[in-house]
Structure 1
Amino acid sequence: MTVLPMNTAVTARAARPWHLSDHARLLIVWFALLVIPFLAPNAYVVSLANMMFINIILIASLNLLMGYGGQISLGHAGFYGLGAYVSGVLGVKFGLSAWVGLPAAALITGLAALLIGIPVLRLRGLYLSMATLGWNAILVVLFNRLVDITGGPNGLLGVRPFSFGDFALDNDFRQFPLVWLVALLVMLAILNFLRSRIGRAVRAVATNELGADAVGIDSFRTKLLVFVLTAGMAGIAGSLYVHVNQFASPETFSVSSSILLVVMVAIGGSGSFWGPILGAAIYTAVPQVLLDYEDAELMLFGLAMLIVLIISPTGLAGIPSALRRRFARRAA
């Protein structure tokens, strides 16, 4: 009689010495992306790469909230904008360094999420979505109306870039290592969070909230924690955005942007660690490809997203596993 090992995961790794951990895979992918400035034909491509890393932070944080936490938020672009304006205003109006604005953006955005999350997270499903959408709409109105602080519809001007003394990160090539590094740290933080006890609690609450409560998990506090954490990450992305572009406009953080971010989570693969990378690449590159089709841009973008979701409901990140299952069934 064959006795099966108790720990099949460890046995599988021992049987496959080439197996790489998710941490190792992430580092390999990120160091491969480090060559972009050396291979890019011009600064414009590097600027798109910078925006892709910022979008990775933004979409990965929303994926943590939606894909793993089970909470649908239509206000993530609002937190993104709040982080951008907090960091930008601290620099423009108060003369503070961008290095001060970055943690301040994360802190204040997280605090705002805490204040909103306490009443809002008692709602579920469609009601939660509508509440977060309303929060995003309120922020956009404030960004437009507080002209003396935010610059209003004309945008926030005069934002200074990150700098090390007299060495300013004022061009795309100089900014690339910073956004590359911050995006890597955020992805590592998410990966470690998911493997932690709290991360397992988040997934348990998303799977069965009543069951999680029954085994001693405080579902409301768990949902509030992940809501605040992901809002802080969006604030970090906003701070990077405003200091990299040295400008912020309310249009960037509109409700439609929040909806598009939700779509990107679904296309990349909701609940997949690698999905946000694919979603961010699409979110950054596709609008640039469709610039020549200005009148039909939205229609073509929507059609492409619809095709992807029909072919692979689990998103682009789910295609490899779907193909493996198909080949396994054929082989069987």
Structure 2
Amino acid sequence: MTVILVVLPFILPNNYTLDIAIRIAIAAVAVIGLNFLMGFAGQISIGHAGFIAIGSYGSAIAASSFALTPVLAIFFSALGSAVIAWLVAKPILRLKGHSLTMATLGFGIIVNMVLINEVAISGGPDGMAVLPLTVGQFTFTKLRHWYALAAVVLWLAIWLSLNLYESPAGRALRGLHGAEVAARVVGVDVGTFKARAFVISAVFASISGSLLGHYLGFISPSLSSFTHSVELATMVVLGGMASTFGAVLGAALLTILPQLLGGLHGYESILFGLTLMLTMIYLPRGIVPTLVLKFRRKS
């Protein structure tokens, strides 16, 4: 993965494809975080776009209204997302199945409605401009600058995810996913581990949202929409639950596919849905785990 991230900007043909690569990297950070919750801990969330919006709006407001540097704004937005996630996690993660799904959906809807209605703070449905990202005297203006930053953040997210997977906490989360009662019997504090996974995923989403806002230079409440939340969850499932590289692949595919199908004049949504459906039928574990399993069987 390191080699791919380093070589990629030199082989991409133009700025358009480089822009897509940056968007993939930023989205993949949020999806890796959501994979902690869905893939490791086995908790479904279809309101996670709310934390992306909290990160993007928090960073934009902190930088413009409170004169914080963008780096500090991103940090405090992530910290605020962690606090909100911890407060939300305790009551929500006691639920299971459809009840949990509906509760996370409700959280996303609340964030979306607040952003739409608080016009004085968020700009309402029209959205708001975001200041450029600066680190010291350096301002990220060129696409290659942004790609370097997005690639480094993605690499760190992958590294943290892989290390968590092999750590005692990661094994506890995987055990919780497989059999919650059995995990509780062997001494795993189920509630605490669920909450930690929720907080980690929220922080990753917040950082992703902050970077996206500074990169685009403009944000709107659509960042917290139900559709966006479903896209994030689909990226996790498509690439492969509990697979870090599957999360990256899922983010890449669902970012690229709309671009490839965009010229089909009304049929792109049908083909997009058909592609996802066929993938789930023939690769039920997700793309990466299914291919890895088939390769191991052949070897």
Q: Same fold by TM (over 0.5)?
A: yes
- Matches of 1:310 and 1:210, distance apart in 2: 30
Contact 2:55/2:209 (8 A) holds in 1:
yes
Equivalent position of 1:33 in the other structure: 5
Q: TM-score of the superposition, structure 2-length normalised? A: 0.96
- Matches of 1:160 and 1:125, distance apart in 2: 41
- Matches of 1:193 and 1:326, distance apart in 2: 27
Equivalent position of 2:270 in the other structure: 299
SS in 2 for 1:41: coil
- Matches of 1:144 and 1:36, distance apart in 2: 38
SS in 2 for 1:153: helix
- Matches of 2:251 and 2:225, distance apart in 1: 18
Q: Deviations over 1:225-273 (max 9, x none)?
A: 1111111111111111111111111113201111121111111011222
The structure with the larger Rg is 1
Equivalent position of 2:295 in the other structure: 324
Equivalent position of 2:88 in the other structure: 116
Contact 2:284/2:290 (8 A) holds in 1:
no
Instruction: Pick closer, same or farther for the CA change 1:193–1:309 going to 2, 3 Å.
Output: same
> How far apart are 1:325 and its partner, in Å?
5.0
Match of 1:73 among 45, 59, 83: 45
- Matches of 2:261 and 2:72, distance apart in 1: 37
- RCO (CA 8 Å, sep 6+): is it higher in 1 or 2? 2
Instruction: Pick closer, same or farther for the CA change 1:299–1:36 going to 2, 3 Å.
Output: same
**Which residue type is aligned with residue 55 of structure 1?**
A
- Matches of 1:186 and 1:58, distance apart in 2: 9
Equivalent position of 1:260 in the other structure: 231
> How far apart are 1:223 and its partner, in Å?
0.6
**Which residue type is aligned with residue 161 of structure 2?**
I
- Matches of 2:286 and 2:95, distance apart in 1: 27
**Pairwise mapping of residues 51-200 of structure 1 onto structure 2 (< 5 A)?**
51-157=23-129, 159-200=130-171
Equivalent position of 1:19 in the other structure: none
**Which residue type is aligned with residue 131 of structure 1?**
A
Q: Deviations over 1:147-206 (max 9, x none)?
A: 11111111111x122223333102211111111101111111111112221111111111
- Matches of 2:248 and 2:15, distance apart in 1: 21
SS in 1 for 2:219: coil
Matching of residue 285 in structure 1 with residue 268 in structure 2: no
Gaps of at least 5 residues in structure 2 are: none
**Which residue type is aligned with residue 140 of structure 1?**
N
- Matches of 1:45 and 1:239, distance apart in 2: 22
- Matches of 2:281 and 2:296, distance apart in 1: 18
Matching of residue 45 in structure 1 with residue 17 in structure 2: yes
- Matches of 2:185 and 2:243, distance apart in 1: 27
Contact 2:81/2:202 (8 A) holds in 1:
yes
Equivalent position of 2:219 in the other structure: 248
> How far apart are 1:46 and its partner, in Å?
1.2
> How far apart are 1:282 and its partner, in Å?
0.7
> How far apart are 1:224 and its partner, in Å?
0.7
> How far apart are 1:294 and its partner, in Å?
4.1
**Which residue type is aligned with residue 24 of structure 2?**
M
**Which residue type is aligned with residue 28 of structure 2?**
I
Gaps of at least 5 residues in structure 1 are: 1-28
The aligned length equals: 299
- Matches of 1:64 and 1:165, distance apart in 2: 33
SS in 1 for 2:244: coil
Equivalent position of 2:184 in the other structure: 213
> How far apart are 1:123 and its partner, in Å?
0.5
Moved over 6 A (4+): none
Q: TM-score of the superposition, structure 1-length normalised? A: 0.87
- Matches of 1:50 and 1:256, distance apart in 2: 21
